[in-house]
Chains A and B, each alone.
Chain A
Amino acid sequence: MAQELKTTERQVPSKLDGSERTRSRPVFVPRTDIYETQDNVVLLVDMPGVASDGVDITLEKRTLAIRGYAADQQHENYGQVYAEYGAGDYERVFTLSEDIDRDGIEAAQKNGVLRLVLPKAAPAKARKIQLKMA
């Protein structure tokens, strides 16, 4: 189901569509696991530093957009001397290939991981049409 719109790895410097964000924080592409079971499509998105109220998920047609806004880390009286990761927001957009039952979507953010369960829509039931006997 997953065809990604942005192709860059961890950071998103691509502004190919010409638009810019209003916030000047760096934006990262969160690492994501996606698997599909019989009934669901499950996404696990690593967004460390993002609390449950900082997650914003939108599903429009088949475009699933996940955004996470991390709270600022305060280090008073400290100066950074070494860095392997940066603080910033997360953003990733997927195109779904399955039809999703929108009312059954579940999302939970725990320990910095977003778990998103998208139930597949039941295939339209075949209806048998009875012919009336004249």
Chain B
Amino acid sequence: MLLSDFGRTGFDPFLEMRRMQQEMNQRLSGLTAGAQEFPPINLWMGEDSVAVSAELPGIAPDGIDLTVRENTLTLKGERGSPAESEKSAWHRRERPHGSFSRTVQLPFRVDPEKVEARFANGLLEVELHRPEADRPKKIQIKG
């Protein structure tokens, strides 16, 4: 198959390389897209706290429902579809819509009273702290 290709187009190693690169990119992008859940989150660890950030574009801050229980954080909400009353034709629909719910397991129990959440430009950031009683205590060894 390759040989016949060369016969038609002449041998262009760069064309061939680009074609292979594109093919490879397509296959790899399929792999990563499978892991895509909405919303995508990042986790950050501090000393006695953990920060969860999520990409939630197009959702109003009051449209996000955040609940904390023991060591789980649940993000819930709904993203409306841009419904047009007038007749409209779609060219592209890539943005996910509908209701979503995601539960994140945190590395430790968190204090539900000490949760800070910020939302700006479609990025949600939640900072959760470990309760005072649960923090690891350093034990002094007597000499």
* A interface with B by C-beta (< 8 Å): 1-2, 7-11, 13-14, 16, 31-38, 41-42, 44, 46-51, 71, 73, 75, 77-85, 109, 111-113
Determine which of A35, A47, A80 lies in contact with B42 in the assembled complex, contact meaning CB atoms within 8 Å: A80
A80-B44 in contact (CB<8A) = yes
Residue of A nearest to B94 (CB): A31
Number of A-B contacts (CB under 8 A): 130
A33 to B37, CA, bound (A): 18
Known: A80-B42, A84-B40, A111-B121. A13 touches B25 (CB 8 A): yes
A33-B45 in contact (CB<8A) = no
**New contact pairs (20) apart from A36-B90, A46-B57, A46-B95, CB-CB < 8 Å:** A7-B22, A10-B29, A13-B25, A32-B94, A33-B92, A33-B94, A35-B84, A37-B87, A37-B88, A42-B82, A42-B88, A51-B121, A73-B53, A78-B44, A80-B44, A82-B41, A84-B35, A85-B42, A112-B121, A112-B122
A79-B82 in contact (CB<8A) = no
B55-A85 in contact (CB<8A) = yes
Q: Which residue among A37, A47, A85, A111 has the maximum number of chain B CB atoms within 10 Å of its CB?
A: A111
Give the number of residues in B that approach A within 8 Å (Cβ atoms). 44
Q: Which residue among A9, A42, A77, A83 has the maximum number of chain B CB atoms within 10 Å of its CB?
A: A9
A48-B122 in contact (CB<8A) = yes
Known: A48-B122, A84-B40. A111 touches B29 (CB 8 A): no
Chain B residue numbers with a CB within 8 Å of A37 are 84, 86-88
A6 to B91, CA, bound (A): 16
Chain A residue numbers with a CB within 8 Å of B53 are 73
Determine which of A36, A44, A84 lies in contact with B89 in the assembled complex, contact meaning CB atoms within 8 Å: A36
Known: A77-B46, A113-B57. A35 touches B25 (CB 8 A): no
Chain B residue numbers with a CB within 8 Å of A49 are 55, 121-123
A48-B57 in contact (CB<8A) = yes
